[in-house]
Structures are given as structure tokens and as C-alpha cells.
Amino acid sequence: MGLFFQDGLMLSAIFFLLCLSHVGLLLWTRQLKGAGFPLLFLRCLLLTLAFDNLVVGLGPYLLPSGIYDILSTLRFWGHAILLPLLLVFVASAWCGFTGSSPVWPVRLAWILAGLAIAYGYFFDLASLSLAPAEYYPRLVATDGQPPYATIIVNLLVVITGAWVWRLASWPWLFLGALQIFVINGALAGREWGFIAGNAAELLFAVSLLGTLKRVMNLQGHSTVGPAGSISASLHAVSVRPGGRN
């Protein structure tokens, strides 16, 4: 038990480092201006991933306490609510690369994101039960069922990323989405799979930031010259269309 606890403390350092990396990316986004919802989403995503790694890293220290149950529940809720909104980000990026009107792609993305959030609530969050994991001290969901909403969202991002690569010669959205999809799929159920999965999330976040910056540069050069601005393809997602391991 003592050796296991020491290993847990060693592994926790990895998650603290991942947490700091996400915070660093979050601070870096301060140089990006005027991107509407996509930038807001990325900042929320980075904050959520930083919190997720912080909670996992604190496992060896706080697992016996009641506060850790609350923190772990919050990290599951954060993933379930925020990840589906990735579809809106990707739809706006696709419009930015292709010059297409953002109205229908973004509306469809909001609808799909809403359905994914609703599915996550009724089938995952509403009956969420946490228990200590066998490998590395942390709390995990006890139902053991695959995160179908997450899988579908990731698959849609991979497909859209491939489309962007073909149309705009920008491979990084596709590669970032593909590596996290493959790693999570290949290592699901492995004791140490969650470590590789969290590291893959960092690489995916970098690919999303690079994609947003690329779209911002394209829009700036093509619409208002050196001063730069994001066109309606990004601003349109600022308003909703109306009328974990």
C-alpha cells in the first residue's frame, strides 16, 4: 500500500503539469481578440481541462475527504456539458475556412450539441455514481458504459477536420481530433489509459487553438487587411439560434 501511494504521488505530478499546461494555453489566448463564441468556448474548455487535471492530481491527497466527491462530480459535469459545444466551434471554423454562410451549419451544430448534452444528462449525469478506482487514487463512474455522446462528437470532429484538410490544406484539426479518438478508443479499459487520454487532450487543445488562430488570420487578411477582424462566420455563433475516467 505504501508503494502504491508513492506511485500515486508520482503520477499526480503528471496531472499537475498538465493542469499548468492548460493554464498556460489559457493565458496565451489573451492575445486573441474578437473571435466571439469560438474563443469563449476554447477558454472555457481550457479552464475545464485544467480543473479536470487538478482534481485527478489531488486524488492521492484528498480522496478520503468529502470535498473530493464534490470536485469529482463537478469535473464529470464539466465534460458532459462543455464537450458537445465543440461541434459549434468546429462548425464555425469550417465556415471560416470555406467562406460558407455560418447560419445553417452553426444552427445544426447547436441542435446536435443540445441533443448530446441532453443525452449526457439523462443517461450519465442523472444517475452518476462515483467510486474509488483500482489504479491510481481517484473517483470514477461506476456504470462502466461507453460515453456514446462523447464518441459521436469526437467522430464528427474527425470527419469535419478531414473535410477542412481537403478543402483548405489545414491538417491540424483532423490530426488533433484523430489522435485523441484513437488513443481513447485503443486504451479504453486499460489501467493507465486515462493518463494517455489526458495528455492527448492537451495536444487536441493545441490543435484547436492553432485552428482558431489560422481562421482568424485568414479572415483578417481576406476582409479588412492588416488590422484584422473576424467576419460573421465566427461572430454568428455568439448568439444561440432561437426564432469521464
Please report, for the domain that includes residue 60, its CATH number. 1.20.1070
* Measured torsion, CA atoms of residues 89, 91, 95, 97, in degrees rounded to the nearest 10: 70
User: How far is C-alpha 109 from the geometric centre of its chain's CA atoms?
Assistant: 16
In this model, does residue 2 exceed pLDDT 80?
no
d(CA 225, CA 227): 6
* Per-residue pLDDT at 11: 87
Owner of C-alpha cell 487514487: 137
Q: For 63-127, where are the alpha helices, taking DSSP H only?
A: 66-82, 86-98, 103-120
Number of domains in the chain: 1
- Does residue 245 lie within any of the structural domains? no
Render the burial of 208-245: b for 16+ CB within 10 Å, e for the rest. Answer: bbebbbbbbebbbeeeeeeeeebbbbbbbbeeeeeebb
- Does residue 134 lie within any of the structural domains? yes
How is 167-223 classified by DSSP, letter by letter?
HH---HHHHHHHHHHHHHHHHTT-TTHHHHHHHHHHHHHHHHHHHHHHHHHHHIIII
3-state secondary structure of 131: strand
- Any bridge partners for residue 131, and if so which? 140
What nine digits make up the cell of 237?
455563433
Q: Which helix (H) or strand (E) covers residue 16, if one does? A: helix 2-28
- Does residue 214 lie within any of the structural domains? yes
At how many degrees (to 10) do helices 37-57 and 66-82 cross? 150
- Rounded to two decimals, what is the model's pTM? 0.85
- Does residue 244 lie within any of the structural domains? no
What nine digits make up the cell of 126?
442523472
- Does residue 156 lie within any of the structural domains? yes
| Distance in angstroms between the alpha carbons of the first and the last residue of the chain | 22
* Per-residue pLDDT at 243: 38
Least confident of 3-17, 25-39, 52-66, 117-131: 3-17
- Does residue 9 lie within any of the structural domains? yes
3-state secondary structure of 144: coil
* Per-residue pLDDT at 7: 62
Non-local (6+) Cβ contacts of 77 within 8 A are 125
In this model, does residue 226 exceed pLDDT 60?
no
d(CA 199, CA 193): 10
- Any bridge partners for residue 217, and if so which? none
Q: What are phi and psi of 131, to 5 degrees?
A: -145, 155
Contacts of 39-44 with C-beta under 8 Å, sequence gap 24+, read 39/212, 40/238, 41/82, 41/85, 41/86, 41/88, 41/89, 42/89, 42/205, 42/208, 42/209, 42/212, 44/82
Domain that holds residue 60: 2-238
Give per-residue pLDDT as tens, 163-182.
Answer: 999 999 999 999 999 999 99
Give per-residue pLDDT as tens, 108-134.
Answer: 999 999 999 999 999 889 888 999 988
- Does residue 80 lie within any of the structural domains? yes
Query: Which pLDDT band holds residue 156 (cuts at 50, 70, 90)?
Result: very high
Least confident of 104-108, 114-118, 184-188, 233-237: 233-237
- Does residue 140 lie within any of the structural domains? yes
